[in-house]
Amino acid sequence: MLNINAGQVIVKFVRRQMKIEIMKRAKLLKGTGIFINDDLTNINAEVLASLRLKEPELVEKAWSRDGKLFVRYRGQERNE
């Protein structure tokens, strides 16, 4: 199912494995102007944005996968 809205496309997959494969390969589109993101709840989207914007000196990377949020802090080996 496709829903085109202001340059955005929302895709609903029939098979979860297909979504996983596409999300794994999303990084291959880096620099093309095409982005693939999970459709997050408003609260999770706000938390993820605040992690990236409010603490840029502490946060090395913040991302989501399957609706869960992950963050890697600078100088630490593990994800939290």
- In this prediction the pTM is 0.62
Both 28 and 45 in a single domain?
Answer: no
CA distances from 78 to 71, 72, 73 (A): 9, 7, 8
Same domain, 79 and 50: yes
Question: Structural domain tally of the chain?
Answer: 2
pLDDT at 5 over 60: no
**Range(s) of the domain holding residue 26:** 1-36
Residue-wise pLDDT tens digits, 21-78: 998 898 899 888 888 888 888 999 999 988 888 778 888 888 888 878 998 888 765 5
What is the per-residue pLDDT across 21-31, written as a single tens digit (0 to 9) for each?
Answer: 998 898 899 88
- Are residues 60 and 31 both part of a single domain? no
Tell me the C-alpha distance between 79 and 70, whole Å: 7
Regarding whether 71 and 43 lie in a shared domain, the answer is: yes
